[in-house]
Amino acid sequence: MLRFIFSRLLYLVPTFLGITIVAFAFPRLLKGDPVLLMAGERGVTPERHAEISAQLGFDKNIVLQYFDFVGRLFQGDFGNSLVTKKPVLSEFLTLFPATIELGFVAIVIAALVGVPIGVLAAIKRGSWFDQLSMSAALVGFSMPIFWWGLLLIIVFSGNLGWTPVSGRISLMYYFPNVTGFMLIDSLLSGQKGAFLSAVHHLILPSVVLATIPLAVIARQTRSAMLEVLGEDYVRTARAKGMPARRVIGVHALRNAMIPVVTTIGLQIGVLLAGAILTETIFSWPGIGKWMIDSISRRDYPSVQSGLLLVAGIVMLVNLLVDLTYGLINPRIRNK
Partner 1 sequence: MKLLSRSLLAASALALSAAAPAMAKTFIYCSEASPEGFDPAPYTAGTTFDAGAHPIYNRLAEFKKGTTEAEPGLAESWDISEDGTEYTFHLRKGVKFHSNDKFTPTRDFNADDVVFSFERQGSADHPWHQYIPGVTYEYYTSMDMPKLVKSVEKVDDYTVKVTLNSPEAPFIANLAMPFMSIVSKEYADTLDAAGTREDFNNAPIGTGPFKFVAYQKDAVIRYQKNADYWGDAPLIDDLVFAITPDAAVRLQKLKAGECHLMPFPAPADLAGISADPNLKMDEQAGLNVGYLAYNTTLAPFDNPKVRKALNMAINKEAIVANVFEGHAEPAKNPIPPTMWSYNEAIQDDPYDPEASKKLLEEAGVAGLSMQIWAMPVQRPYMPNARRTAEMMQADLAKVGVKAEIVSYEWGEYLDKSMEPGRPGAVILGWTGDNGDPDNFLSVLLSCASAGPGGANRAFWCNEEFSALLAKAKVSSDPAERTKLYEEAQVIFKDQAPWFTIAHSTQYVPMSNKVSGFVQSPLGDYVFDTVDIAE
Beta carbons within 8 Å of 191's beta carbon, 6+ residues apart: 173, 175
Segment 287 to 326, residues that bind partner 1, using CB under 8 A: 289-290, 293, 298
> Among 262, 313, 334, 331, which residue's Cα sits nearest to residue 7?
334
Member of 118, 148, 168, 207 binding partner 1 (CB under 8 A):
168
Residues 226, 238, 285, 315: which binds partner 1 (CB under 8 A)?
A: 285
Nearest to 302 by CA among 318, 287, 316, 315: 287
- Determine if 255 is a binding residue for partner 1 (CB under 8 A): no
Closest CB to partner 1 among residues 38, 319 = 38
Stretch that binds partner 1, among 65-73, 110-118, 239-247, 277-285 (CB under 8 A): 277-285
Residue 192 makes contact with partner 1 by CB under 8 A: no
Distance of CA 108 to the CA centre of its chain: 13
CA distances from 184 to 175, 176, 179, 249, 283 (A): 12, 12, 7, 34, 20
Residue 73 engages partner 1 in binding (rule: CB under 8 A): no
Q: Does an H or E element contain 129, and which?
A: helix 128-141
CB–CB of 33/298 below 8 Å?
A: yes
- Using CB under 8 A as the binding criterion, the count of chain residues that bind partner 1 stands at 55
Task: Tell me how far apart the alpha carbons of residues 209 and 148 are, in angstroms, rounded to a whole number.
Answer: 10
Report if residue 177 touches partner 1, rule: CB under 8 A: yes
- In the complex with partner 1, which residue's Cβ is closer, 86 or 235? 86
Would you count residue 43 as binding partner 1 (CB under 8 A)? yes
166 makes contact with partner 1 (CB under 8 A): yes
Q: Does 158 bind partner 1 (CB under 8 A)?
A: yes
Closest CB to partner 1 among residues 4, 156: 156
Q: How distant, in Å, are the alpha carbons of 69, 105, 117 from that of 213?
A: 36, 12, 13
Site for partner 1 contains 251 (CB under 8 A): no
d(Cα 101, Cα 283) in Å, to the nearest integer? Answer: 14
CB-side neighbour CA atoms (13 Å) of 159: 6
Residue 65 or 318: the one with the smaller Cβ distance to partner 1 is: 65
Question: Between residue 214 and residue 243, which ones bind partner 1 under the rule CB under 8 A?
Answer: none
165 binds partner 1 (CB under 8 A): yes
Q: Is there binding between residue 160 and partner 1 (CB under 8 A)?
A: no
| Residue 272 · residue 107 · CB < 8 Å | no
Query: Footprint of partner 1 on this chain (CB under 8 A)?
Result: 30-34, 36-49, 52, 55-56, 80, 82-86, 91, 94-95, 150, 153-154, 157-158, 161, 164-168, 171, 174, 177, 280-283, 285-286, 289-290, 293, 298
